[in-house]
Amino acid sequence: MATREQKELQPIDKMSPIWDSLAQGEREYLREHTLFQTFRKGEMIYCCGDKPKYLVCLVSGMVKIYKDGFSGNRPQIVRIAKPGDVFAYRAFFAKELYCNNATALESTTAYLVPVEVIWQIIQSNNKLAMVFLHFTAQRIGVSDNRTMSLTQKNVRGRLAEVLVHINENFGIDADTGFMHCKLSREDLASLANMTTSNAIRTLSTFSDDGLIEVSRRAIKILDEEKLRRVSRVE
């Protein structure tokens, strides 16, 4: 008898604590109007200039959210979404068009909630409004801190910060210790605002110094304390 490895697909309102305050009727309304969609690797989920149509709740896979670079400059990854993450709602609440892009980093599935559905529920559910307010307020802090890191830390400090962040937020393989999130050097560079060359070079020196172990795209942190120190002071 084959064991069922594949996890049962949870309904949208069980995917994130964002929906905890929803009443039963609201949950049903949400479920009924939510789409489920698959994206293949590299596929665009939304892009800069689009009018926000859906809030996205990631079910499986990984999505990079990135801004196009100014005139000839490299694009910059703002953040990477993982299963359970809810995104693509900022522009809607700000009453703006999207000003960044989202593409699947690997084969990905997601719930798409039409913004009208969110609007409908949030108008009469103050708790939901407060949850989104809490989230957006936190994200301002994250964004302002990111600005500080990208402008005041040097290349080593920025890359160390990115590695520690990925390690913390995407987890590591229980057996090998390698990080689950395997990004190309180019994407690491884009996250840490540096050239791909510098990302590659700095990974090499981190590896030479025994801070990390590198095998292709897989990275294992060997000395987290030291890496954090590099992230703090450089």
Q: Applying CB under 8 A, which residues contact its own copies?
A: 67, 69-71, 73, 76, 78, 89-96, 99-100, 122-124, 126, 129-130, 132-134, 136-141, 143-153, 193, 232-233
Least separation in angstroms between residue 72's CB and DNA is 8
- Evaluated on CA atoms 155, 157, 158, 164, the torsion sign reads positive
The Cα 195–Cα 130 span in angstroms is 40
| Residue with Cβ nearer its own copies (74 or 217) | 74
User: Between vectors from CA 158 to CA 153 and to CA 160, what angle results, nearest 5°?
Assistant: 125
Binding partner of residue 203 among DNA, its own copies, none, CB cut-off 5 to 8 Å per kind: DNA
- The footprint of DNA (CB under 7 A) covers 154-156, 184-186, 193-198, 200-201, 203-204, 214, 216-217
Binding partner of residue 148 among its own copies, DNA, none, CB cut-off 5 to 8 Å per kind: its own copies
Alpha-carbon distances of 4 from 1, 9, 61, rounded to whole Å: 9, 13, 19
| Residue with Cβ nearer its own copies (14 or 51) | 51
With contact defined as beta carbons under 8 Å apart, do 163 and 219 qualify? yes
Least separation in angstroms between residue 163's CB and DNA is 14
| Residue with Cβ nearer its own copies (122 or 222) | 122
Nearest to 194 by CA among 151, 223, 131, 232: 151
For 215, residues 6+ apart whose C-beta sits below 8 A from its C-beta are 178
| Residue with Cβ nearer DNA (35 or 233) | 233
Name the one residue in this structure whose structure tokens are 């190309």: 184
Least separation in angstroms between residue 145's CB and DNA is 18
Binding partner of residue 76 among its own copies, DNA, none, CB cut-off 5 to 8 Å per kind: its own copies
Binding partner of residue 91 among its own copies, DNA, none, CB cut-off 5 to 8 Å per kind: its own copies
Least separation in angstroms between residue 156's CB and DNA is 7
Q: Angle at which helices 155-170 and 224-233 pack, to 10 degrees?
A: 130
| Residue with Cβ nearer its own copies (51 or 134) | 134
Binding partner of residue 96 among DNA, its own copies, none, CB cut-off 5 to 8 Å per kind: its own copies
Least separation in angstroms between residue 155's CB and DNA is 4
Q: What's the first-to-final CA gap in the chain, in angstroms?
A: 55
Please classify residue 1 by burial: count the beta carbons closer than 10 Å to its beta carbon, then call 0-12 exposed, 13-18 middle and 19+ buried: exposed
| Residue with Cβ nearer DNA (139 or 226) | 226
Helix (H) or strand (E) holding 134: helix 126-152
